[in-house]
Amino acid sequence: DAGVTQSPTHLIKTRGQHVTLRCSPISGHKSVSWYQQVLGQGPQFIFQYYEKEERGRGNFPDRFSARQFPNYSSELNVNALLLGDSALYLCASSFTGAESPLHFGNGTRLTVT
């Protein structure tokens, strides 16, 4: 079975630009979450989406936004990129059951220069 897929795998952007990262969840999973992992730290929660609605948001500025599509895939958008946005961006999907574990993709490595 295909796991969570993310694209692109690597990306280099310049300060001030914007970026769109994409995620396809595991088949049957309706909930998608996004995490940011800066080098040397654990992942930090950015967003959760379920049924195309935002269900949770972490402590990130408004430059970060996301959406979920009818097929449950998702996009993460980051505007006005800063050097500090350089990180591994992880997408995770899950069933909607209360204790359903999250399953992560291998992420998009974003480098801002």
Where along the sequence are the contacts to another protein (CB under 8 A)? 4, 31, 33, 35, 42-45, 48, 55-56, 58, 90, 92, 94, 98-99, 101-107
For another protein, the closer of residues 11 and 102 by Cβ is 102
- Least distance to another protein, CB of residue 67, Å: 16
> Is 105:90 a contact under the CB 8 Å cutoff?
yes
What Å distances lie between residue 62 and 51, 80, 98, CA to CA? 21, 10, 28
With H, G, I as helix, E, B as strand and everything else as coil, classify residue 38.
coil
For another protein, the closer of residues 44 and 65 by Cβ is 44
- Least distance to another protein, CB of residue 14, Å: 24
- Least distance to another protein, CB of residue 33, Å: 4
For another protein, the closer of residues 10 and 14 by Cβ is 10
**What is the distance between the alpha carbons of residues 14 and 94, in angstroms, rounded to a whole number?**
33
**What is the distance between the alpha carbons of residues 4 and 72, in angstroms, rounded to a whole number?**
12
